[in-house]
Structure 1
Amino acid sequence: MTARKPSDKDLAFTRRMRLVGAMIAGTTLLWIIFGEVGRQYNWDGRYALLIDLAAIAAYVWALTNAWMLWRKRRET
């Protein structure tokens, strides 16, 4: 039995989904780290808000890209 060779389209899809997964994991990790550092150094609340907004923006980007990839995958 021979395995089928993935097409360029499949490889691009996989690469993009890995990027989305890495973005979610990295955002979560940085959000936790910066939140803890901010608490330890008593950063102003404005910085916490800025960190939260940046994390939300990254999650929205990842969710949008995952949704677009899911729809594209269903079309084929």
Structure 2
Amino acid sequence: MDEIFEIWPSLAEMARDMGEKYPTVAAWKRRGIPARRDADVIAAARQRGFDLTYEQIGLAREAFLAPTPAGDAA
């Protein structure tokens, strides 16, 4: 999901653009963005000039949630 968060210079700016509190967005960074907020993330990214799609968010979520092979550092 890092590539999505990199659209914003800071979590504080993402929170502001999303109309969320900073701790909520910081939790998204650790746990992943809830699927119910995908449309809001896409709209906020577009306001910043990024053409983010549902597919890109889905692929990022899939990679984020994929289990790490045993023995690899997370």
TM-score relative to the length of structure 2: 0.33
The structure that has the greater radius of gyration is 1
Whichever structure has more helix as a proportion of its residues is 1
TM-score relative to the length of structure 1: 0.32
